[in-house]
Homo-oligomer: A and B are copies of this chain.
Amino acid sequence: MKKFVNDPDHFVAEMLEGLVLANADTLKYVPEYNLVYRADMPSDEKVSIVQGSGSGHEPAHVMAVGRGMLDAAAPGGVFSAPPVEYCLECLKRMNSAKGVLYLVNNYQGDRMNWDMAREIAEAEGIKVGVVVIDDDVAVQDSTHTVGRRGVAGNFFVIKAVGAAAERGASLEELVALGDRVNKAVRSMGVALSSCTPPAKGTPIFDIGGDEIEMGVGIHGEPGRSREKIAAADAIVETLFQAVHTDLPFNGGDRVALMINGLGGTPVSELYLLYRKAAQLCKDNGLEVVKNYVGEYCTSLEMAGASLTLLKLDSELETLLDAPAQVPIRVF
């Protein structure tokens, strides 16, 4: 295993310590629960927005904690759901008179643990709402899911409900908004390589030197097909076709287009992919109003990328344009 790590069992804790050291003025940290939260939250003036899933997908979700995005994140270990007590502590600490909304990507472990935490929290008088994200069109059921997986489209749910929460939206309004975003967003990914969880020490799947996994999951779950590597444009066509026909998107739609890196692919290649994706949008009459090229939801150091399309409306465009302040800043 070749990565920057000390004791593999401390990988997540040491990453979180680094994150909080780098943002000491805005973030607080409760090590016992892997809990990272906004130093100025909770507030009874605002619904708290929280999320927690397996680690290894950074910047999702701990690096999305900040004004206009998440109020807290409570990640589990690498590729493993946060325990119930992490979820519960997160709900309790972020308790607000307006309620707490948790966002959960559709994986059985995450959903089960958050559901149990929700039951306990509600019994203690906390008002809790949930939005489930399942934007990955690759396969219907998967290794860890009944139904579709949640992947990079999750970003758009965070951004929309995060912005609306800052404007004072109610819990019920935010649940409806989050569900609406989830229904309007579709993604699919492709892997050029596997990745190695620190505590496992070996790759999560084998893949040949000339192969790609089309429709891969962010935990290395099988996709639609194992294929020989093709030209970048052909790969983008396959991703675009799968996403475009699924909603379906129609000529005249205004969309947000995201090319998300899976962790080991440099941004130069992501822009090369964006070029073809933008051309395909144009060819199909889609107007790309907003674009996102970079890493949003990764799979450790996996080489690969995903393509996400979100169908916009005027409210969503306004929410995506709203200010946000998160730990990840580039310039």
Contact = CB atoms under 8 A, between A and B. Distances in A.
A266 B264 contact: yes
A247 interface: no
B231 A6 contact: yes
> For the complex formed by this chain, how many copies does it contain in all?
2
Interface stretch (A55-63, A121-129, A218-226, A310-318): A55-63
A169 interface: no
Interface residues of A, number: 66
A320 B15 CA distance: 25
Interface in A1-54: 2-6, 11, 14-19, 21-22
Contacts of A5: 231-232, 269, 272
Contact of A21 (B18, B69, B263, B274): B274
A328 interface: yes
A301 B15 contact: no
Contact of A303 (B264, B269, B295): B264
A274 B17 CA distance: 9
Nearest to A264: B264
8 contacts: A3-B192, A14-B232, A18-B272, A22-B291, A58-B271, A326-B331, A328-B330, A328-B331
